[in-house]
Structure 1
Amino acid sequence: MICIALVLIMSTSAFAATEPKTEEQKTFYALGALISRSLAVFELTPSEYDLVQQGLKDSIVDKKAQFDPAPYTEKLQALAQSRRKAAGEKQSAAGKEYLAKAAKEKGAVKTESGLVYIPIKEGNGPSPKATDTVKVNYRGTLIDGKEFDSSYKRGTPAEFPLNGVIKCWTEGVQKMKVGGKAKLVCPPDLAYGDAGAGEMILPGSTLAFEVELLEVKGAAAPSAPSK
């Protein structure tokens, strides 16, 4: 479902840009920032943004839209899918260039699967197997550098079975040793493919992860048979 929440937007001349200072102001600012993510899939042109702005003003300020928007829900769904697909195609092409450039970095190894593994710091502990559970810190970015996930920001390392994540991680982290850090550049078919993930990871996205391997916990013990 497309989630387009109401946002208090007037014409750009109707308000002066102010820095949010209080928690309440920051909350409303966050509302606008989060809504912008919902709208990002449309890649609005300036004239399209003006129309969106007009619809918001008519509905919120004037309390009366020029027409009933409900019948346009399916058209909005189709438009979002179409533009997301087009954006994904651009992302895919740019990703190939990014992978080729990454493969030329010092120490980089491009595997048969297409993964580019770049060591940052060599570890001196054990390497995990695919069936092991690992504890890591990591930061995930798009090829333009935008961060979409980070255990560092959450302040808590991630822990998971290595064979329960994207293929890029399953392969790449096995090349690491505890105490080491590496950059994994993941082609789409080793990441989220043509489906993408969430609002930021478009279909066909190449992704980059900086991963720090903290601990290998071994495979989970099988459950005891019931009596």
Structure 2
Amino acid sequence: MWMAALVLALGAPAAHAQTPKPAKKPEPSAKQPPATPPAPAAPFNPESEDAKTIYALGVSMGRDLSFFALTPEEVQLLQKGLADSIAGTAPAIDAKEYGPRIQALAKARQAQASAALLERAAKEPGAVKLPSGVIYREVQAGTGKSPRPTDTVKVNYEGRLLDGTVFDSTAKRGIPAEFPLNGVIPCWTQGVAKMKVGGKAQLTCPGSTAYGERPPPGSRIPPNAVLIFDVELVDIPGDTSK
């Protein structure tokens, strides 16, 4: 569908396409050759480094636009606007006038997707919705102590966006992370406090309990993004009561 839409956006409008004429029916006595099966489509495999780079550019743009949750029809409009801009064709509208509308649409679509994700997460078996809206779901029960808000915790974790993009992971660094539990985002302070050492849990964090309007500089986290964390509580360093 993406390819068809791209051809439509970059080529002639559909209204100019000619309707193919139906093929003539063969005479009853005519002997028909056996049907030839269609050749399988060649896999997309860019060979040059430039081709791979441009493809990667498309993937990156798609990720940045994923929270718009565009319909196939909207994808065609997007591709038409992109094609006109690249070709230098006079745009059908003044894009500058629609800057504020683009931002408003992005916020509205992100809010819809976030609400849907939180609703799904809350319906997962074993999920518990905390008063702040954080969705806590135990994946593996721990056998140790639960940390206090003032404790330092050692954890392994992976953080993901709505579209599944991993924005942070201790696996990439190869070592667990350590931090005071009262020095992180509220979602973590509340969620990890419910865990026991050795346990694993998934935290689904509404934007208000994560980074809100001000995500970390240089991160791929949009403002007010819902974040999903898979967390393993490895230890409570310095706890002398163990």
Q: Which residue of 1 aligns with 2:29?
A: none
Amino acid at match of 2:112: K
Q: Which residue of 2 aligns with 1:29?
A: 55
Q: Which residue of 2 aligns with 1:3?
A: none
Q: Which residue of 2 aligns with 1:47?
A: 77
Amino acid at match of 1:154: K
CA gap of 1:196–1:88, structure 2 versus 1, over 3 A, is farther
Contact 2:159 2:169 in 1 (8 A): no
1:101 to 123, 133, 138: 123
Q: Which residue of 1 aligns with 2:189?
A: 170
Q: Which residue of 1 aligns with 2:38?
A: none
Distance in 2 separating the partners of 1:119 and 1:210: 10
Post-superposition Cα deviations, 1:141-168, rounded to whole Å, max 9, x if no partner, equal 456x623334155243333332232211
SS at match of 2:179: strand
1:149 to 154, 157, 167: 167
TM-score (ref. length: structure 2): 0.62
Distance in 1 separating the partners of 2:62 and 2:207: 25
Distance in 2 separating the partners of 1:152 and 1:95: 24
TM-score (ref. length: structure 1): 0.65
Q: Which residue of 2 aligns with 1:183?
A: 202
Amino acid at match of 1:209: F
Single out whichever of 112-121 and 82-91 deviates more from structure 2: 112-121
Identity %: 40
CA gap of 1:54–1:201, structure 2 versus 1, over 3 A, is same
Distance in 1 separating the partners of 2:165 and 2:64: 17
Q: Which residue of 2 aligns with 1:85?
A: 107
Post-superposition Cα deviations, 1:124-154, rounded to whole Å, max 9, x if no partner, equal 33332223332322223456x6233341552
Q: Which residue of 2 aligns with 1:210?
A: 230
Distance in 1 separating the partners of 2:177 and 2:97: 40
CA gap of 1:119–1:92, structure 2 versus 1, over 3 A, is closer
Post-superposition Cα deviations, 1:195-221, rounded to whole Å, max 9, x if no partner, equal 385656564x544322111232359xx
Q: Which residue of 2 aligns with 1:62?
A: none
Distance in 1 separating the partners of 2:7 and 2:201: 45
SS at match of 1:113: coil
Q: Which runs of 5+ in 1 are unaligned?
A: 1-10, 59-64, 220-227
Distance in 1 separating the partners of 2:238 and 2:48: 47
Give the length in aligned residue pairs.
192
Contact 1:183 1:208 in 2 (8 A): yes
Contact 1:37 1:199 in 2 (8 A): no
SS at match of 2:235: strand
